[in-house]
Amino acid sequence: MSVTVASSSRAAPAYTGAMIFIDPPYWPAHGTVFSHLISDTSVAELHDFATANGVSRRAFDLDHYDVPQRLYERLLAAGATPISGKELARTLVESGLRIRAKYRVKSVGSVLEMRWRALLPGQPKLGMDLLARWSEPPRHYHSPTHLLAVLEALDQLTGRTVPRPVALAAWFHDAVYNGTAADEEDSAALAQSSLEAVVSVDEAGEVARLVRLTATHAPEAADAAGHLLCDADLAVLGGPPEAYSRYMVGVRQDYAHVPADDFAKGRAAVLRRLLALEPLFHTSRGRNLWDAQARVNLVQELAQLNQKSRKWDFAMTDFISFTGMPPLPVAEFAFPGPLRDQLVAAILDGTKTSTTTTLIEYEIENEGLPVIGQQEVVIDSDGKGVAVIETTAVRHARLADVDLQHVIDEGEGDTTVAQWRAGHEEFWHSAEMRNAMGDPDFTVNENSMLVLQRFKLVSRLP
């Protein structure tokens, strides 16, 4: 059944330098020569390493840092691994972190200019004015790259048959960007005033209406045009982890004027609002492309924002200190009582090697998702640690897609998926569960996203 994981009090391990690479100083500019500094694993790791070693964020160019020759030896001493320029290029491509050429600023501008000419021939000045707005400093995420990504997402949703009002709304939706609540309304007003002399009054009004929708991303059920624009604007949420990491960095840079604590509170509120949207994506194509990964990304980011404020339970800390074990997260199966006792017994005798949790529980509990290799202390109904388990596999699935093998490995005696589902729905719809979720009407359905976790018993505790 449900697993909630309490955080450890351990500090994050120190950076080892094992995944940062640098090529020799060779590339001439500004009276010196430059090296390229990359990570093969994480843009966030790259930023942390660069900041810790005095490399300005201004030296970051989408997927690498340009660092002057004077810093080369310092970065080697700090743990960067020297490789040739050819090896560095190959490493960046293989890592999946390389930004394709068309997404670099100069190329983005050229691609967008061509798109604008095809969209609204005879209006080059308006297109250039919009591009200038999108390119205003200090934009980071809300930049021409985002505009191109939204237009390409619309292509994916429609097979390149995007209705013109929707495409125009994409061009205008962040044209005014000051990082305030008035941005969408100001952008809509700009669209209305800019287009009234170019297209029909009705079309200009439709574009302005669509732009306003991006403030809430909650179009009406019959609003097909609104569905397309909102899904395309939120497509970034469903990107792979490294793309989402770049998105998070860009958003924080756009709000650099906001103190860290205030940003964390505001951003957490945005994430909770997005997670509460039902549906998050309105088109069937959008749901298939982005919904599952988007919910994973949102929950994980929310967990990161709340990590600093999470507290390790004092009683469990004392218990672990008493046993001489290193601090580990806690795994709680169901609620204290007969069901937990049954599940814990099944873990101890090896019958239970899998478990299922609704994805939304991780958001409610402010917890990160399970990680392969992660060990946890299983506690019984008395709060006593009885075993250590280790996660061996994690996947995400709709409730409708849970397979029989997973059901059997839950070790609860179910022999059919229907039998397992009936028992789990009874638990998820129980008063106890609804109280824990803070929602008296909490329900699951065919499309509810689940986290399916497999684990092994590492040891029993005395």
Render pLDDT for 200-221 as a digit per residue (tens, 0 to 9): 999 999 999 999 999 999 999 9
CA angle 100, 105, 106 (to 5 degrees): 100
Structure tokens at 56: 């300005």
Q: Which residue has the tokens 């007003």?
A: 189
- Per-residue pLDDT tens for 143-182? 888 999 999 999 999 998 999 999 999 999 999 998 888 9
Query: Higher confidence at residue 189 or residue 141?
Result: 189
pLDDT at residue 325 in the model: 39
pLDDT score, position 310:
40
> d(Cα 64, Cα 23) in Å, to the nearest integer?
11
Dist CA 218 CA 228 (whole Å) = 11
Query: Of 222-226, 274-278, 279-283, 414-418, which range is least confident?
Result: 274-278
Of the candidates 44, 37, 42, the one whose C-alpha atom is nearest the C-alpha of residue 78 is 37
User: pLDDT-based confidence at 82, cuts 50/70/90?
Assistant: very high
Contact 312, 359 (CB under 8 A): no
**Residue scoring higher pLDDT (399 or 437):** 399
The C-alpha angle with vertex 108 and arms to 38 and 237, in degrees rounded to 5, equals 70
Name the more confident of 114 and 306.
114
Q: Which two tokens stand for residue 195?
A: 């287009």
pLDDT band at 462 (very low <50, low <70, confident <90, very high): low
- Report pLDDT for 6: 32
Q: What's 363's DSSP letter?
A: H
Mark 38-47 as b/e (b = at least 16 C-beta within 10 Å): bbbebbeebb
Residue range 259-318, pLDDT digits in tens: 888 888 888 889 988 988 889 999 999 999 999 999 888 888 887 776 543 433 333 333
Select from 281, 276, 282 the least CA-distant residue to 299. 276
Per the prediction, the chain carries an average pLDDT of 83
pLDDT digits (tens, 9 = 90+) for 64-77: 888 888 899 999 99
Residues in CB range of 433: below 8 A, 6 or more apart: 2, 427, 442
Q: State pLDDT tens for residues 309-338.
A: 343 333 333 333 433 334 467 788 988 888
Q: Per the structure block, which two tokens stand in for 438? A: 């803070």
User: Residue 121's pLDDT is what?
Assistant: 93
pLDDT digits (tens, 9 = 90+) for 231-270: 999 999 998 887 888 888 888 888 888 888 888 888 888 9
Does position 52 have pLDDT exceeding 50, yes or no? yes
Cut 0.95: pTM above it? no
Which of 66, 65, 20 shows the shortest CA–CA distance to 42? 20
Instruction: Please give, one letter per residue, the 3-state secondary structure of 200-231.
Output: CHHHHHHHHHHHHHCCCCCCCCCCHHHHHHHH
Contact in structure between 456 and 389 (CB atoms under 8 Å): yes
Q: How confident is the model at residue 107 (pLDDT cuts 50, 70, 90)?
A: low
Percent of the chain surpassing pLDDT 90:
45
Least confident of 106-115, 210-219, 381-390: 106-115
- Cα of first residue to Cα of last residue in the chain, in angstroms, is 25
Q: Are 58 and 67 in contact (CB under 8 A)?
A: no
pLDDT tens per residue across span 348-370: 999 999 999 998 887 766 567 78
What is the enclosing helix (H) or strand (E) of 450? strand 449-460
pLDDT of residue 9: 29
